[in-house]
Structure 1
Amino acid sequence: MKILDLRNVFRNCTDTLIEIGDPLIYYAEEKMEEGHPSLFLLEYNRAARRERIVANYILTDPAFVPHFFSFPDDIVMVLESGGSEAWVLRVDKRTGREKSMARLNFIGSFLDCRALDEDHMLFYTGPNNRHRALFSEYSRLTGFSRVCYLYDLEEGKYYYARDPRVCGADASRLLTCECGGALQVLLLEPHGSEAEKEKCYRNMRWLGDGVCDRVWLCPLLDFVVSVKTGEPRVPLELILNAGTEGLVRYAGMNRENIYFRARYFPTGDQRLCAYNRATGRKSVAARLTLGRGERPAWFSIDPEGGRAYRVEERDDDCEVTGVLNSGISVRYPKELGRFVTCVDDRYIVAKYILKDDKDSFEFNSLFDGKTGYQKSYECHCAVRGETVVLY
């Protein structure tokens, strides 16, 4: 395990961690510079322990909210204030040069965005007072409650998505990953929250078996071309499906697999399923159901490492046992907080939030499962691979 303490580098709570690499880390800092609200894109070299300004901007609107998307050579940044416009910038990490910059005007108010790759962004907007009549007509014609735009940074053009599965989603339900040697769009189509889906099962007598969770996959190139040509249906391939009696939810991915948590309501059986990114083969990776006579426990799934843990909370401690890609079996003091993850199959990361009506304080603790050594930090914490970043 490597501990990277950036608390002296991250100077205030408005700093945003963009990417943790080795040896380079990218982050953003908002501060007043010569009386103007400014945004700095910064690079920190872990080996040289040196900070470098990649680019900086004066924020013409103090209400701007930044969104960052990091790629091997570039950072794509979106600045919006919840209205009908947004700025999109693509910045070279090495030189700080703007490869593209555009001011976009939307119908409706900004809701969310997602970078599919360095060249393509998805934007979602919802109704507002300014465009109420236009939005009403759009909803009447399409049946959609929001607008989805595909923006091409190279062309400087945007296109309207027409597929109801895309328009009905949001940015958190659209992911990109490499499968079968090509970039793919993974579209998650769950039916409401887990509690809402279980309620549908209890009312199955009236709702039938058509209340589904679906997971779709599509080559990124095909996705982009179909939206640009105005096709009503993107060529999405259904890879997982659960009817009213069950549930399937995205759980994370690693280099080999994409993981989904599947649950069958009639028996309570719950499993972690794997979709192989190279072959498309589907398999059961782990069982997430407590056996008869087992003490109460919950399961934690690492969304990036493809690991799963059984966590049993006792009176004074918590027992963590690996159930997928982990062989750990250790207890740590319950006072350290709620289990977050495990590093190197040895070090427990736990988080505790202390708050009152005015303030909130975050404490992150590291516990060595072999020696029992523990240390707590009042700061934020992020884990990438074997690196624990404090900031």
Structure 2
Amino acid sequence: MTRTVITGIGAIAPGGIGIEEHWESTLRGDLHVRPITAFDPSGYSTSIAGQLENFEPERFVDDRMLVQTDRWTWLALGAARLAFADAAYDPSATDPYDTSVILASGLGGVEFGQREIQELWSRGRRAVGAYQSIAWFYAASTGQISIRHGTKGRSGVLVSDGAGGVDSIGAARRAIRRGTAGVVVGGTEAPLCPYALTCQITNGGMTTSPDPRGGYKPFDARANGYAPGEGGALLILEDEEKAAARGARQAYAEVAGYAATHDAHTHDTRSPDPRQYARAMIVALEDAGLTPDDVDLVVADGAGDPALDRAEAEAIHLALGERGATVPVTAPQGFTGRLGSGGAALNVATTLMAMRHSLVPAVGNLDTPAEGLRLDLVTGRPRPMPVRVAMVNARGFGGFNSSLILRTLPGAS
């Protein structure tokens, strides 16, 4: 069976534009969760978020497309361009049916939609623009990337909240095994407008702390909910043999295993029952032909909620057995906030850099680990260590659980 490898990364995140900026910021432990500046959040229970600092949409999107699309799609178009460049992958140089786009999506074009709703109620239906019909749609970014780069391969969109970035990789691996040469995967999110914040607050899982240092704190004794964030990452996945034939450089890693389960809990919360989450990890390892002893690093979902963090710790122990207490665990998203459909994809990008540089970043914004977790949490400074096999886990509201196994390639330095 063909091997699926990751050859390109495009990150647009609170930590920086491009994977190198994001990586260096993560290693420094820069906290990018701060008071929301896009609008006045004083009337909301959550007022802090991970925000982009130097994103210039004109760098990636022309004026005509700016008025037709939402900020969420601008981020995706930018990340796709960066990922193609990083992989030195030119879709125009191949059969257009050889390249697919399979992304994750969460809220969609919510800022664009809010603006058009305001026009509807303040000025009437004739004030609503024609692009409202396509800009908010959760598949808009998939479509716009396909149009821009002329790709016509099997494409789609996965909607599973925070698990979506991992799920898109699983779907892309299936497409590659069925003959597609390359797939753009991952996700972005732009959830920082009044309408989006209102929607997110209803899930009951967000922090109410106005202090960024006291807000989103995965696995911390003072964990009190998560802070939202904007951005994400897109990746280029390829058939290894076809990548070699086009002269691709050494891939970051192989997608060795993947699995997804569902809690069948409720539609609006994440289950505190760890069994299905653990099963996703177990099946992903089985899919990769590996055992718990092979896992060098776990990159956790890190909900930043006491009950959910305990449930995740228990799931890790159920899945890995005795290894669960000794394998290093990190959750660097504490530095950026939870980026919805872009969060797991960004964690995968960060993990690939950790594997390439043999350096694991710390859990973001962690001061005092909560008692009873029995996890080897990476705290303080980044931890130098070789990472041959990494497990990246993710959960989404609605009961979604996903686990991805990444493995370095033979001969990788």
Please identify the structure whose Cα radius of gyration is greater.
Answer: 1
**Higher strand fraction (1 or 2):** 1
